[in-house]
Structure 1
Amino acid sequence: MPLPDPLTTVVRRFRTAPKDLRVQALLQYARRVPPLPERFAADRSALEQVHECQTPFFLATEVDDDGRVHLFFDAPAEAPTVRGFAGILREGLEGQHRDDVLAVPPNFYAEMGLDTVVSPLRLRGMGAILARLQRQVREQSTSPDPES
């Protein structure tokens, strides 16, 4: 199954960019991560920590009644590569149908050339973020979508 269109666009941008511009693009995506909504900021127990990340990284997902996925991330500004990956996921997956989110391959970011600008340890953390996100979506999608 192909990637959702918004994520395909992001992957294509990175893949065609020179190595030095990939780093800059990652930093731009880091700045696009919105602050947590008040309900998560006030009660952080609803966020799940991704322990595989070197820095404190937390996420929550919500699947609405239409099967659309909504993403919430909390990562320190001092962790721009991981925060940038969160920005990429938000840009590419926010509002997409749960089936499309669950179909994203675990190493989709390899096509982006991130392995040339990010350490293997950070890449492992990025893979863990996607895996945790997809697990949360699966847990919230126990009943099949009647329109599928």
Structure 2
Amino acid sequence: MTAASAESAVPAALQEIADDFGQLTGKDRLQLLLEFSDGLPELPARYTDHPELLEPVPECQSPIFLATEVEGTGCEARVRLFFSAPPEAPTTRGFAGILAEGLDGLSAGEVLAVPLDVTGRLGLAEVVSPLRLRGMAGMLGRIQRQVRQKAQVPAA
């Protein structure tokens, strides 16, 4: 995959978020991450009442759980994302907020095409540890696995 095609695989909403982070310096990037933490949507009752339906993301240092819902099959299926992360884990909540805003409502094909290294494009390496960035990549990997299974899209 060329650099241009890798760039084009990033959905517009997620690329816009990456661009926003890229225009900021370290301290301001951390502040924007905290804003995404505050903006993480609440779980719907169907998940708060049944937390066993959420998948844990052990790659994250803080406890986070996620679920995907897929309407339809194949690459055109629509994807919905849901996250549970405690308020006392703002970095993890921020990562979840970025993924929710950048990927929720897209097609399965769009979500599956996102390169796992997209997390590095946010420029957060100077303000959060590599271990935390691996946690965000772990979230994306689990989202893509669930989408692939639920949308019945064969692995590339």
Q: Quick check: 1:130 aligned with 2:140?
A: yes
Gaps of 5+ in 1: none
Once superposed, which parts of structure 1, at least 4 consecutive aligned residues long, lie more than 4 Å away?
Answer: none
Superposed displacement of residue 52, structure 1: 1.4
Question: CA separation in 2, counterparts of 1:122 and 1:109?
Answer: 10
- Rounded to whole Å, the distance in 1 between the matches of 2:24 and 2:38 is 19
Q: Give the Cα–Cα distance (whole angstroms) in 2 for the partners of residues 120 and 60 of structure 1.
A: 24
Listed as ranges, the gaps of 5+ residues in structure 2 are none
**What is the deviation of 1:124?**
1.3
Q: CA deviation at 1:64?
A: 1.1
- Once the two structures are TM-superposed, the CA of residue 143 in structure 1 deviates from its matched residue by 5.5
Instruction: Note if 1:35 corresponds to 2:6.
Output: no
Alpha-carbon distance between aligned partners in 1 of 2:153 and 2:24, rounded to the nearest angstrom: 41
Counterpart pick for 2:79 among 65, 69, 75:
69
Which amino acid in the other structure matches residue 142 of structure 2?
Answer: R
Secondary structure of 2:116's counterpart equals: coil
The CA distance in 2 between the partners of 1:55 and 1:110, in whole Å, is: 19
Percent identity among equivalent residues? 49
* Residues 143 and 56 (structure 1), Cα distance of their counterparts in 2 relative to 1, 3 Å cut: closer
Q: CA deviation at 1:18?
A: 1.2
When the two structures are superposed, what TM-score results if normalisation uses the length of structure 1? 0.93
What do you get for the CA RMSD once the two structures are aligned? Answer: 1.2
Map of 1:11-26 to 2, 5 A cutoff?
A: 11-26=18-33
